[in-house]
Chains A and B, each alone.
Chain A
Amino acid sequence: MYQLKKWFEIPIGSIVSEAGSSMMNNTGSWRMLRPVLNTEKCTNCLICWIFCPDDSIPVNREQRFETDFQYCKGCGICAVECPYDALEMVPEMEIKLKELE
């Protein structure tokens, strides 16, 4: 289990001394809008991958894969930058409600 540090165990200045510790935080938890990918429109140009500020779009040399929703914060930059209109920002609530139905 991940143990919370006590006040005197925190490094001075509240610095984070371990690399990659943000992996422990599910930063996608506060997403309000979800970039929904239309694979038919997507040309795999990878422009969204360049712009995503949270590195949440997994790619290889040929292709982009489904967004990593553990970390995607729903900023919508990918949808704005996509030249092929392949991403639509849909309210998380709508998706959740649909899942419930």
Chain B
Amino acid sequence: MSTKVIALTGNQAAAEAMRQINFDVAAVYPISPQTELMGFFAEYVANGEVDTDMVAVEGEHSAMAACIGAAAAGARVITASAGPGIAYMVENLYIASGMRLPIVLIDVNRALSAPLSIHCDHGDSMLTRDSGWISLFSENAQEAYHNLIMSVKIAEKAMFPVIVNYDGYIVSHSIENVEIFDDETVREFVGPSGIHRIPYPLLDVSKPVTYGATAQPDYYTECKYQQHVDFLKVYDIVREVFNEFESISGKRYDFIEEYMTEDAEYIGISMGSSFGTLKDAVNTLRAQGRKVGAIKIRLYRPFPVKELAQALSKAKGIAVLDRADSFDGIGGPLFKDVCTAILHNQNRSLVHNFIYGLGGREIHEEEFIKAFDRVERLEKGVETRDNLVEYLQVRA
């Protein structure tokens, strides 16, 4: 195996992974900040560098519909979208997971309207959190590249579709050094495509089957229970693929990434590109002698409940940093997931929720430090709270 380090944006790195994987079908509709990604990939298609059938559809609902058809036929398929495009796709996301089709979707995270914003937050991804898709978050272009390569294998082993998230503009359009494998390594890792990869390929005319039939009340529950049971098996499959990936890359991935949590009394949790800023905040506070740490969620669905509970078992206070609001009187989506996870723990830490980075608002170390301060004062009883959730960055 050989690797090379080149300067790429997140979108370029993702397009490179797509080229190396050489998907059979890509059905896409353009939307910022994903447009550029598919622009790069369309060039590979036009130049004959891939065998991919690129289907230009009339909208994201159709993009996913085309993916569903192609995947059911046995093709290895991918699509990509962002923000409102993801929203438009949602109905078909549930169909894809219910039909157990190994589709890959890149979500270049973008805020939802209104007001209209093309910039990053995780509101779009949160539309997908109950859809039965496996969901991976990437901190930077390198992780987006790695997650994409692993996603194909995860999807096909689990027979569930996978979303690879990376932050719009912050990751998608920023240039970083990315270590790229040679094509052979990637193609060997993902293995060959071919219709008999999946249990019931639609084009296997010797064994005709019906996809997407009706299930009446006498069947629907059993169908969903099977999906439920199989989704719980995804943890082991993801771990397996992470391990296989380590053997080709030397890179050790886990469901969550911990930073200085060993003796931490106060822990901040975030997903995506803000984790670097969170680590900076931890470094600054550590230099002042404060016992703080940080956790990044890499595997968002299925949620790493046990691993997170374990990592938080000794924390006194937890600051959950949500790049999306839920507007439900409870708190952000990640906050609720974290609260659920710590139900496993005997000693419940104080958990407080902070919303940040909406619609592309830049996040700074000082703001995360404010979150650590607030959580510590709440935990010590110096301050009180009316709500479990507050905004970190509001002009008042």
Contacts and interface: CB of A to CB of B under 8 A. Distances in A.
Interface string A1-32: 00011111011111111010100010000000
Interface residues of A, number: 16
Interface stretch (B21-29, B96-104, B276-284, B388-396): B96-104
Interface in B198-227: 199-200, 207-211, 213, 215-216, 218-219, 221-223, 225-226
Contact of B99 (A14, A17, A19): A14
A4 B209 CA distance: 18
A13 B219 contact: no
Contacts of B218: 4
Interface residues of B, number: 24
B222 A19 contact: no
A15 B200 contact: yes
Contacts of A16: 209-210, 213
B159 interface: yes
B210 A4 contact: no
Contacts of B207: 17
A4 B220 CA distance: 12
Nearest to B199: A12
A16 B222 CA distance: 14
A15 B208 contact: no
A14 B159 contact: no
A5 to B, nearest CB: 7
A12 B222 contact: no
Nearest to A5: B222
B200 A14 contact: no
A93 B308 CA distance: 59
B226 A10 contact: yes
A10 B213 contact: no
Contacts of B219: 4-5, 10, 14
Contacts of B216: 25
Interface centre among B199, B208, B218, B226 (most CB of A within 10 A): B226
A7 B225 contact: yes
Nearest to A11: B200
B222 A17 contact: no
A11 B101 CA distance: 13
Nearest to B225: A7
B208 A8 contact: no
B159 A15 contact: no
Contacts of A12: 100, 159, 199-200, 226, 230
Given A12-B199, A12-B230, A16-B213, 13 more contacts: A5-B219, A7-B225, A10-B219, A10-B226, A11-B199, A11-B200, A11-B209, A13-B98, A14-B99, A14-B213, A14-B223, A15-B213, A16-B210
- Counting from the closest, the 9 A-B pairs by CB-CB distance are A13-B100, A16-B210, A7-B222, A14-B223, A13-B99, A7-B225, A15-B209, A16-B213, A7-B226
Interface of A: 4-8, 10-17, 19, 21, 25
